[in-house]
Structure 1
Amino acid sequence: MIFEMTVQVRVSDIKAGQKWYEILLNKKPDFVPHDGFAEWELIPGCWLQVAEGTLTEGNGPFRLGIADIESERERLVNELKIDRFEIHSRPEVPVKWGTFSDPWGNRLGFFEYVNKAGREHDFNL
């Protein structure tokens, strides 16, 4: 039985990478066990690891569920200077989503439930 998970992205400069992800996630890392590595617990048992090392090409996207995709896109365009990404939706899909990249080419994204009552979990969004 799976009880936890980690997802790792690589950056060429850990100081710049950690700062970028602190802004993205609106918080400092939860765990920095050694130089070149930082971890954030996104939800209980789900960790994002940012590691300094050889960049991987073609990974992701790793998407995060959020309450308001439009306002979060505007925050990242302003604070992280990312390109404005398109927000997609389809009638048969219960979420709208968008994809962007960090400065190291890691593909990331957000998704937002269209019908908040349709979520399986209530996260007080």
Structure 2
Amino acid sequence: MPLDLFAGIPVTDYAAALKWYERLLGSPPTFIVSDTEAVWELAEHRSVYVEQLPERAGHAMHTIFVDDLDSIVTQIAERGLDPAQRETYSNGVRKITYRDPDGNEIGFGGMPL
């Protein structure tokens, strides 16, 4: 079965969120849907989007697993964002969590080297 992922992140202020997610993800959106919604394709058939939905903002919790977690975290730091939380689980998997201005959690996870 083919797998597509389209994960939504509700935000209060679309313009502010757009700038923040560009810094987090390292690029402008892949495409703009409307004046209040933008999409980033992270990999083929795997996307995240922000949408201005103030009544739902602050409740997203997504984790993106990457091959080189340290490199991603370094790149994000170079763009001026610091993690809100760092975790290492008993199996060695690490997770670095960022929180957008609304409190939505976007984590990056990686297997131990």
User: Shorter-chain TM-score: which interval?
Assistant: 0.7 to 0.9
Structure with the higher strand share, 1 or 2: 2
Segments of 5+ residues of structure 2 without an aligned counterpart are none
* CA RMSD across the alignment: 2.3
Q: Which amino acid aligns with 2:103?
A: G
Instruction: Give the direction of change, closer, same or farther, for the CA distance of 1:2–1:68 in structure 2 (3 Å limit).
Output: closer
Tell me: higher relative CO, structure 1 or 2? Use CA pairs within 8 A at least 6 residues apart. 2
What is the deviation of 1:2?
5.1
Contact 2:11 2:58 (8 Å CA) reproduced? no
Percent identity (aligned): 25
* TM-score between the two structures when normalised by the length of structure 2: 0.80
Instruction: Give the direction of change, closer, same or farther, for the CA distance of 1:9–1:71 in structure 2 (3 Å limit).
Output: same
What is the deviation of 1:78?
5.5
Could you tell me how far apart the structure 2 residues matched to 1:65 and 1:53 are?
Answer: 26
Could you tell me how far apart the structure 1 residues matched to 2:70 and 2:84 are?
Answer: 10
Secondary structure of the structure 2 residue equivalent to 1:28:
coil
Structure 2 partner of 1:105: 103
Could you tell me how far apart the structure 1 residues matched to 2:14 and 2:20 are?
Answer: 10
Q: Which has the greater radius of gyration?
A: 1
